[in-house]
Amino acid sequence: MADVGVPVSAHRDRILELVSPLAPVIVALGDALGLVCAVDVPATISLPRFDHAAMDGYAVRAADVAASPVELPVAGVVAAGDAAQVTLAPGTAWRIMTGAPVPDGADAVVPFEWTDRGADRVRIDQAVPVARHIRRTGEDVPEGVLAVAAGTALAPRHLALLAAVGVVDVAVHPAPRVAVIATGEEIAGPADLPGHVPDSNTVALSAAARAAGARETSYGPVPDDPALLLDQVATAAEAADLVVTTGGVSAGDHDVVKAALCDREGFWFGSVAVKPGRPQGCGLVIASDGRQVPVVALPGTPVAAYSSFRLFAEPALRALAGRFPEPTGRAVLDAEVAVAGDRTLVLPAAYVAPGRVAQLPGHVGHSQRLLADADVLLVLPPGSAPLPAGDEVGILPLGSGDR
């Protein structure tokens, strides 16, 4: 009986055991977008930093306008950004702008809409309760409390909050460095030779690494020479946190990656129960600085290489960056889909309506056209019975930047 291979989840876990979050670095807020916060970050100042007006109007004592309508003399104007703190005398008002500090002695702000907007004297037509239209110091975020938790992938909204509470730099896990090495005589030789195939895998996997938030460097293509492959992997490991190879992992006479690395301690090569992409491999190489650099060895067929990157290499990148594993999305099948028996099946599909997808017709395992036309990759579990229309299935979203 043919070897079906280890489950997809088991191989993914095998790779994840090889990686851990990269050591934190300190960066300016402007350089932290998309990176993962490595430590809890407390507010260094309160937000708001001082009591300020929530609306344009007049700062008053609520007791002075309780019997409205009432007319009060206007002591002056307080604008946003004024540094001097002023005091409100009983029975007077200060004209105040949104964001301006509330005068000492004032306990409410009357909006312009409730007044005649007078300059020297103002008629106030409506009473206002204590604290109305005043934003109190620290009512949003008090000084010292948690602003952003460790493990947060920093989006613009998080950076805005950190800036607002006085943070100027932050400890983050850096973006992983990825080395991509494509192999094969058919892509390594001169482009004008018969039998040459353009190297689309380097382009695809390098772009996929960037889309996953990594910094990538491409090496190769490397011909089918184990010694050259070992040299290239060693070179790549010096400048990378993860090395991804493509091609040369099956059982053929020229499967250079397997031939070069299969006898090294800690490497595994074998079958994974997935279609396309059954042959896979992984292990660790030691860089000259002592770092253990994981290697993820993917098949060479372009569709299998890309889908395997999404299934196996991308989770490793997320782990290096300190991110939580990304759950598979979900969508509803528009039509029946056949499955692959004992293997997980990955199929290009397109949206026919929001949340509803249909498999694209054609040869799944080799068609780069189908992959380019797809909106998602269906990830179908092993099974013998076709999945009917209306079933909800796992998907890997594609689209802009494949995110």
Taken in order of first residue, the domains within the chain and their CATH numbers are 8-22+174-320 (3.40.980.10), 26-46+142-173 (3.90.105.10), 52-135 (2.170.190.11), 329-402 (2.40.340.10)
Cα dihedral 67, 68, 72, 76 in deg (nearest 10): 120
Q: How far apart are CA 394 and CA 380, in angstroms?
A: 7
E runs forming strands in 45-138: 52-53, 57-60, 70-78, 93-96, 108-111, 121-124, 134-135
Reported as type and span, the H/E element at residue 243 is strand 242-246
| Whether residue 364 has pLDDT greater than 70 | no
- Region 310-335: mean pLDDT is 92
Q: How far apart are CA 3 and CA 16, in angstroms?
A: 23
Place of tokens 């056949």: 338
Which two three-digit tokens encode residue 384? Answer: 């013998």
What's the mean pLDDT when you consider all of the chain? 93
pLDDT-based confidence at residue 193 (cuts at 50, 70, 90)? confident
Q: How far apart are CA 243 and CA 164, in angstroms?
A: 39
- Three-class secondary structure of residue 10 per DSSP: helix
pLDDT at residue number 187: 87
| Whether residue 402 has pLDDT greater than 60 | no
pLDDT-based confidence at residue 1 (cuts at 50, 70, 90)? very low
Q: How far apart are CA 343 and CA 365, in angstroms?
A: 14
The contacts of residue 204 (CB under 8 Å, 6+ apart) are 302, 305, 306, 309
**Cis amide leading into 381 (omega within 30):** no
Question: pLDDT tens digits, residue range 8-34?
Answer: 999 999 999 999 999 999 999 999 999
| Whether residue 202 has pLDDT greater than 90 | yes
Question: pLDDT tens digits, residue range 40-81?
Answer: 999 999 999 999 999 999 999 999 999 999 999 999 999 999
Provide the 10 A C-beta neighbour count for residue 154. Answer: 21
DSSP sequence for 141-209: B-TTSEEE-TT-B--HHHHHHHHHTT--EEEEEPPPEEEEEEE-HHHHS-TTSTT----HHHHHHHHHH
Question: pLDDT tens digits, residue range 145-171?
Answer: 999 999 999 999 999 999 999 999 999
Q: How far apart are CA 265 and CA 370, in angstroms?
A: 39
Q: Pick from 307, 317, 314, 316: which is nearest to 274 by CA?
A: 307
pLDDT at residue number 7: 96
